[in-house]
Structure 1
Amino acid sequence: MIRPATPTDLPRILDLVHELAAYEREPDAVTGTVDSYEQALFPDNGNPVAWAHVAEQHGDLVGIAVWFRTFSTWTGRPGLWLEDLYVRPEHRGSGIGTALMATLAQVCREHGYPRMEWTVLDWNTPAQDVYRHLGAQPMQDWTTQRLSGAALHALAERG
Protein backbone atom coordinates (compact mmCIF):
# COMPACT_ATOMS: atom_id res chain seq x y z
CA MET A 1 0.00 0.00 0.00
CA ILE A 2 1.35 3.44 -0.98
CA ARG A 3 0.15 6.36 1.13
CA PRO A 4 1.22 9.83 2.29
CA ALA A 5 3.46 9.72 5.34
CA THR A 6 2.10 10.69 8.74
CA PRO A 7 3.95 12.07 11.78
CA THR A 8 3.89 8.63 13.41
CA ASP A 9 5.91 7.27 10.45
CA LEU A 10 8.86 9.58 11.09
CA PRO A 11 11.05 7.25 13.19
CA ARG A 12 10.62 4.49 10.59
CA ILE A 13 11.24 6.94 7.73
CA LEU A 14 14.49 7.97 9.37
CA ASP A 15 15.45 4.29 9.69
CA LEU A 16 14.95 3.92 5.94
CA VAL A 17 16.99 7.08 5.30
CA HIS A 18 19.86 5.54 7.28
CA GLU A 19 19.55 2.34 5.22
CA LEU A 20 19.62 4.44 2.05
CA ALA A 21 22.75 6.27 3.22
CA ALA A 22 24.48 2.94 3.84
CA TYR A 23 23.40 1.70 0.40
CA GLU A 24 24.77 4.88 -1.19
CA ARG A 25 28.09 4.32 0.61
CA GLU A 26 27.61 7.30 2.96
CA PRO A 27 26.58 5.61 6.23
CA ASP A 28 27.65 8.52 8.43
CA ALA A 29 26.21 11.32 6.28
CA VAL A 30 22.71 11.48 7.79
CA THR A 31 22.33 14.36 10.23
CA GLY A 32 18.53 14.66 10.04
CA THR A 33 16.47 13.81 13.10
CA VAL A 34 12.86 12.97 13.76
CA ASP A 35 12.44 16.57 14.92
CA SER A 36 13.98 18.06 11.78
CA TYR A 37 11.82 15.81 9.60
CA GLU A 38 8.75 16.79 11.60
CA GLN A 39 9.50 20.50 11.06
CA ALA A 40 10.00 19.94 7.32
CA LEU A 41 7.06 17.61 6.64
CA PHE A 42 4.56 18.51 9.36
CA PRO A 43 5.37 22.01 10.67
CA ASP A 44 3.33 23.55 13.46
CA ASN A 45 3.41 26.90 11.67
CA GLY A 46 3.55 27.46 7.94
CA ASN A 47 3.61 25.09 5.02
CA PRO A 48 5.68 21.94 4.62
CA VAL A 49 8.90 22.28 2.65
CA ALA A 50 8.87 18.60 1.71
CA TRP A 51 6.50 15.65 1.53
CA ALA A 52 6.88 11.90 1.78
CA HIS A 53 5.01 8.86 0.61
CA VAL A 54 5.57 5.46 2.14
CA ALA A 55 5.13 1.90 1.00
CA GLU A 56 3.66 -0.18 3.77
CA GLN A 57 3.40 -3.94 3.82
CA HIS A 58 1.93 -5.86 6.76
CA GLY A 59 2.38 -2.82 9.01
CA ASP A 60 6.06 -2.36 8.13
CA LEU A 61 7.44 0.50 6.04
CA VAL A 62 9.39 -1.05 3.18
CA GLY A 63 9.90 2.00 0.97
CA ILE A 64 9.85 5.78 0.89
CA ALA A 65 9.75 8.62 -1.59
CA VAL A 66 10.69 12.05 -0.22
CA TRP A 67 10.04 15.01 -2.48
CA PHE A 68 9.61 18.76 -2.69
CA ARG A 69 8.35 21.34 -5.16
CA THR A 70 10.64 23.11 -7.59
CA PHE A 71 10.05 25.92 -10.03
CA SER A 72 10.97 26.04 -13.70
CA THR A 73 11.71 29.43 -15.19
CA TRP A 74 11.19 27.87 -18.62
CA THR A 75 7.66 26.59 -17.97
CA GLY A 76 6.76 29.21 -15.38
CA ARG A 77 5.29 26.41 -13.25
CA PRO A 78 6.21 24.29 -10.27
CA GLY A 79 7.51 20.77 -10.61
CA LEU A 80 8.29 17.86 -8.34
CA TRP A 81 11.84 17.03 -7.27
CA LEU A 82 12.26 13.49 -5.99
CA GLU A 83 14.93 13.85 -3.33
CA ASP A 84 15.11 10.17 -2.45
CA LEU A 85 13.42 6.92 -3.36
CA TYR A 86 14.34 3.84 -1.38
CA VAL A 87 12.95 0.33 -1.23
CA ARG A 88 14.38 -2.24 1.14
CA PRO A 89 16.49 -4.79 -0.76
CA GLU A 90 14.24 -7.74 0.02
CA HIS A 91 11.30 -5.91 -1.57
CA ARG A 92 13.03 -4.73 -4.74
CA GLY A 93 11.66 -6.15 -7.95
CA SER A 94 8.17 -6.44 -6.47
CA GLY A 95 6.82 -3.25 -8.08
CA ILE A 96 7.02 -1.07 -4.96
CA GLY A 97 9.45 1.42 -6.50
CA THR A 98 7.28 1.69 -9.60
CA ALA A 99 4.20 2.17 -7.43
CA LEU A 100 5.92 4.97 -5.51
CA MET A 101 6.95 6.64 -8.78
CA ALA A 102 3.43 6.24 -10.20
CA THR A 103 2.00 7.88 -7.07
CA LEU A 104 4.32 10.85 -7.55
CA ALA A 105 3.33 11.03 -11.22
CA GLN A 106 -0.28 11.23 -10.03
CA VAL A 107 0.70 14.10 -7.68
CA CYS A 108 2.19 15.87 -10.71
CA ARG A 109 -0.95 15.35 -12.75
CA GLU A 110 -3.26 16.47 -9.92
CA HIS A 111 -1.29 19.70 -9.35
CA GLY A 112 -0.44 20.43 -12.97
CA TYR A 113 3.31 19.95 -12.49
CA PRO A 114 4.84 19.40 -15.93
CA ARG A 115 8.01 17.77 -14.59
CA MET A 116 9.28 15.23 -12.11
CA GLU A 117 13.06 15.26 -11.78
CA TRP A 118 15.73 13.60 -9.66
CA THR A 119 19.36 12.56 -9.65
CA VAL A 120 20.75 9.05 -9.54
CA LEU A 121 24.26 7.95 -8.70
CA ASP A 122 26.38 7.05 -11.73
CA TRP A 123 27.15 3.59 -10.34
CA ASN A 124 23.53 2.76 -9.45
CA THR A 125 22.72 1.03 -12.72
CA PRO A 126 19.85 -1.05 -11.26
CA ALA A 127 18.00 2.18 -10.41
CA GLN A 128 18.90 3.71 -13.78
CA ASP A 129 17.46 0.64 -15.51
CA VAL A 130 14.17 1.00 -13.60
CA TYR A 131 13.97 4.70 -14.46
CA ARG A 132 14.63 4.04 -18.18
CA HIS A 133 11.92 1.35 -18.13
CA LEU A 134 9.50 3.98 -16.73
CA GLY A 135 10.38 6.34 -19.60
CA ALA A 136 12.78 8.69 -17.80
CA GLN A 137 15.48 10.35 -19.88
CA PRO A 138 18.92 11.22 -18.49
CA MET A 139 19.85 14.89 -18.68
CA GLN A 140 23.33 14.25 -20.06
CA ASP A 141 24.26 17.88 -20.56
CA TRP A 142 23.55 18.82 -16.93
CA THR A 143 25.74 18.25 -13.89
CA THR A 144 24.43 18.74 -10.37
CA GLN A 145 26.39 21.32 -8.42
CA ARG A 146 26.47 21.69 -4.63
CA LEU A 147 27.71 24.30 -2.19
CA SER A 148 27.82 23.26 1.45
CA GLY A 149 29.84 23.57 4.62
CA ALA A 150 32.78 25.98 4.61
CA ALA A 151 32.38 26.89 0.94
CA LEU A 152 28.73 27.88 1.48
CA HIS A 153 29.63 29.98 4.51
CA ALA A 154 32.55 31.62 2.70
CA LEU A 155 30.33 32.61 -0.19
CA ALA A 156 27.71 34.00 2.21
CA GLU A 157 30.42 36.21 3.72
CA ARG A 158 31.07 37.71 0.29
CA GLY A 159 27.46 38.91 0.09
Structure 2
Amino acid sequence: MSSAFHIRPATVDDCSQILAFITELAIYEKAEHEVESTETDLSQTLFSDDATAHCVIGEYQGKPSGFAVYFYNYSTWQGRNGLYLEDLYVSPEFRGKGLGKALLKHLAGQAVAKNCGRFEWSVLDWNTPAIDFYESLGAKPKSEWVGYRLDGDALTSFAADA
Protein backbone atom coordinates (compact mmCIF):
# COMPACT_ATOMS: atom_id res chain seq x y z
CA MET A 1 0.00 0.00 0.00
CA SER A 2 1.25 3.47 -0.86
CA SER A 3 2.60 5.53 2.02
CA ALA A 4 0.27 8.30 0.78
CA PHE A 5 -2.67 6.17 2.05
CA HIS A 6 -3.82 5.76 5.60
CA ILE A 7 -6.79 3.60 6.52
CA ARG A 8 -8.19 3.98 9.99
CA PRO A 9 -11.28 3.01 11.94
CA ALA A 10 -13.88 5.75 11.76
CA THR A 11 -14.86 7.50 14.97
CA VAL A 12 -18.04 9.26 16.01
CA ASP A 13 -16.32 12.52 15.08
CA ASP A 14 -16.34 11.33 11.44
CA CYS A 15 -20.16 11.19 11.15
CA SER A 16 -20.34 14.38 9.10
CA GLN A 17 -17.70 13.11 6.68
CA ILE A 18 -19.33 9.66 6.47
CA LEU A 19 -22.68 11.27 5.64
CA ALA A 20 -20.96 13.37 2.96
CA PHE A 21 -19.47 10.19 1.42
CA ILE A 22 -22.88 8.47 1.58
CA THR A 23 -24.46 11.42 -0.21
CA GLU A 24 -21.72 11.49 -2.87
CA LEU A 25 -22.23 7.76 -3.43
CA ALA A 26 -26.00 8.19 -3.70
CA ILE A 27 -25.55 10.97 -6.26
CA TYR A 28 -23.23 8.71 -8.27
CA GLU A 29 -25.84 5.94 -8.13
CA LYS A 30 -28.60 8.39 -9.13
CA ALA A 31 -30.38 7.77 -5.83
CA GLU A 32 -29.72 10.88 -3.75
CA HIS A 33 -33.44 11.09 -2.95
CA GLU A 34 -33.17 7.74 -1.13
CA VAL A 35 -30.68 8.89 1.52
CA GLU A 36 -32.44 8.98 4.88
CA SER A 37 -29.37 8.75 7.14
CA THR A 38 -28.53 11.56 9.49
CA GLU A 39 -25.40 12.15 11.53
CA THR A 40 -27.41 11.05 14.59
CA ASP A 41 -28.38 7.80 12.85
CA LEU A 42 -24.76 7.12 11.95
CA SER A 43 -23.58 7.90 15.46
CA GLN A 44 -26.08 5.41 16.87
CA THR A 45 -25.71 2.62 14.32
CA LEU A 46 -21.96 2.73 13.79
CA PHE A 47 -20.61 3.81 17.18
CA SER A 48 -23.01 2.83 19.96
CA ASP A 49 -22.21 -0.10 22.24
CA ASP A 50 -24.59 -2.35 20.33
CA ALA A 51 -23.49 -1.29 16.82
CA THR A 52 -23.14 -4.21 14.41
CA ALA A 53 -21.81 -2.25 11.44
CA HIS A 54 -18.32 -0.78 11.16
CA CYS A 55 -16.66 1.91 9.10
CA VAL A 56 -13.14 2.71 7.99
CA ILE A 57 -11.95 5.96 6.49
CA GLY A 58 -9.37 6.02 3.73
CA GLU A 59 -7.14 9.07 3.68
CA TYR A 60 -4.92 10.18 0.84
CA GLN A 61 -2.11 12.51 1.87
CA GLY A 62 -3.94 13.20 5.13
CA LYS A 63 -7.32 14.08 3.57
CA PRO A 64 -10.42 11.88 4.01
CA SER A 65 -10.88 10.50 0.51
CA GLY A 66 -13.11 7.45 0.79
CA PHE A 67 -14.79 5.04 3.13
CA ALA A 68 -16.04 1.51 3.55
CA VAL A 69 -18.93 0.30 5.70
CA TYR A 70 -19.11 -3.40 6.53
CA PHE A 71 -20.58 -5.95 8.89
CA TYR A 72 -20.17 -9.61 9.68
CA ASN A 73 -22.69 -12.12 8.40
CA TYR A 74 -22.75 -15.89 8.84
CA SER A 75 -22.53 -18.92 6.56
CA THR A 76 -24.24 -22.01 7.87
CA TRP A 77 -22.52 -24.07 5.16
CA GLN A 78 -19.07 -22.91 6.23
CA GLY A 79 -19.92 -22.69 9.92
CA ARG A 80 -18.22 -19.33 10.26
CA ASN A 81 -18.61 -15.63 9.72
CA GLY A 82 -18.18 -13.73 6.51
CA LEU A 83 -17.45 -10.07 6.00
CA TYR A 84 -20.04 -8.18 3.95
CA LEU A 85 -19.07 -4.87 2.39
CA GLU A 86 -22.11 -2.62 2.39
CA ASP A 87 -20.52 0.44 0.80
CA LEU A 88 -17.18 1.30 -0.74
CA TYR A 89 -16.67 4.80 -2.06
CA VAL A 90 -13.75 6.96 -3.14
CA SER A 91 -14.36 10.61 -3.98
CA PRO A 92 -13.84 11.37 -7.70
CA GLU A 93 -10.70 13.48 -7.26
CA PHE A 94 -8.96 10.56 -5.52
CA ARG A 95 -9.91 7.77 -7.91
CA GLY A 96 -7.21 6.01 -9.87
CA LYS A 97 -4.64 6.35 -7.09
CA GLY A 98 -5.22 2.90 -5.60
CA LEU A 99 -7.26 3.90 -2.54
CA GLY A 100 -10.23 1.69 -3.46
CA LYS A 101 -7.94 -1.30 -3.77
CA ALA A 102 -6.25 -0.36 -0.50
CA LEU A 103 -9.62 -0.22 1.28
CA LEU A 104 -10.57 -3.63 -0.12
CA LYS A 105 -7.19 -5.12 0.86
CA HIS A 106 -7.62 -3.71 4.37
CA LEU A 107 -11.03 -5.38 4.72
CA ALA A 108 -9.77 -8.62 3.17
CA GLY A 109 -7.04 -8.60 5.82
CA GLN A 110 -9.65 -8.15 8.53
CA ALA A 111 -11.69 -11.02 7.09
CA VAL A 112 -8.65 -13.30 7.11
CA ALA A 113 -7.65 -12.19 10.64
CA LYS A 114 -11.19 -12.96 11.89
CA ASN A 115 -11.19 -16.37 10.11
CA CYS A 116 -14.05 -15.36 7.83
CA GLY A 117 -14.92 -17.79 5.09
CA ARG A 118 -16.07 -15.10 2.67
CA PHE A 119 -15.71 -11.46 1.71
CA GLU A 120 -18.77 -10.41 -0.27
CA TRP A 121 -20.47 -7.32 -1.68
CA SER A 122 -22.98 -6.27 -4.30
CA VAL A 123 -22.60 -3.91 -7.23
CA LEU A 124 -25.21 -2.29 -9.44
CA ASP A 125 -25.41 -4.09 -12.76
CA TRP A 126 -24.83 -0.86 -14.73
CA ASN A 127 -21.70 0.14 -12.81
CA THR A 128 -19.22 -1.16 -15.38
CA PRO A 129 -16.17 0.66 -13.94
CA ALA A 130 -16.74 -0.99 -10.54
CA ILE A 131 -17.46 -4.40 -12.08
CA ASP A 132 -14.28 -4.23 -14.18
CA PHE A 133 -12.29 -3.16 -11.11
CA TYR A 134 -13.64 -5.98 -8.93
CA GLU A 135 -13.06 -8.59 -11.61
CA SER A 136 -9.47 -7.32 -12.08
CA LEU A 137 -8.91 -8.27 -8.42
CA GLY A 138 -10.15 -11.80 -9.00
CA ALA A 139 -13.67 -11.31 -7.60
CA LYS A 140 -16.42 -13.29 -9.29
CA PRO A 141 -20.10 -12.35 -9.67
CA LYS A 142 -22.68 -14.50 -7.90
CA SER A 143 -24.93 -14.95 -10.90
CA GLU A 144 -26.92 -17.83 -9.41
CA TRP A 145 -28.35 -15.71 -6.57
CA VAL A 146 -31.03 -13.02 -6.83
CA GLY A 147 -31.25 -10.47 -4.03
CA TYR A 148 -34.58 -9.70 -2.38
CA ARG A 149 -35.58 -6.91 -0.04
CA LEU A 150 -38.48 -6.00 2.21
CA ASP A 151 -38.50 -2.35 3.24
CA GLY A 152 -40.82 0.53 4.05
CA ASP A 153 -44.54 -0.25 4.20
CA ALA A 154 -44.04 -3.80 2.90
CA LEU A 155 -41.68 -4.59 5.79
CA THR A 156 -43.93 -2.95 8.38
CA SER A 157 -47.01 -4.71 7.04
CA PHE A 158 -45.33 -8.10 6.91
CA ALA A 159 -43.92 -7.73 10.44
CA ALA A 160 -47.36 -6.77 11.77
CA ASP A 161 -48.66 -10.19 10.79
CA ALA A 162 -46.05 -11.91 12.99
TM-score by length of 1: 0.95
Counterpart mapping for 1:18-37 below 5 A: 18-37=23-42
Indicate yes or no: 2:57 matched with 1:79.
no
Q: Which runs of 4+ in 1 moved over 3 A?
A: none
Residue matched to 1:63: 66
TM-score by length of 2: 0.93
Residue matched to 2:56: 53
Q: Secondary structure at the match of 1:28?
A: helix
Q: Secondary structure at the match of 1:83?
A: strand
Whether the 8 Å CA contact 2:12–2:47 is kept in 1: the answer is yes
1:16 pairs, out of 17, 21, 28, with 21
CA–CA distance in 2 between the matches of 1:98 and 1:60?
17
Alpha-carbon distance, 1:49 to partner? 1.1
Query: Which one-letter code corresponds to 1:155 in the other structure?
Result: F
Residue matched to 1:138: 141
Indicate yes or no: 2:143 matched with 1:105.
no
Query: Which one-letter code corresponds to 1:24 in the other structure?
Result: E
1:90 pairs, out of 64, 89, 93, with 93
CA–CA distance in 2 between the matches of 1:114 and 1:49?
18
Alpha-carbon distance, 1:58 to partner? 3.8
Task: Please tell me the root mean square deviation across aligned C-alpha atoms, in Å.
Answer: 1.0
| Consecutive unaligned residues in structure 1, runs of 5 or more | none
Indicate yes or no: 2:147 matched with 1:157.
no
Q: Secondary structure at the match of 2:35?
A: coil
| Consecutive unaligned residues in structure 2, runs of 5 or more | 1-5
Residue matched to 1:125: 128
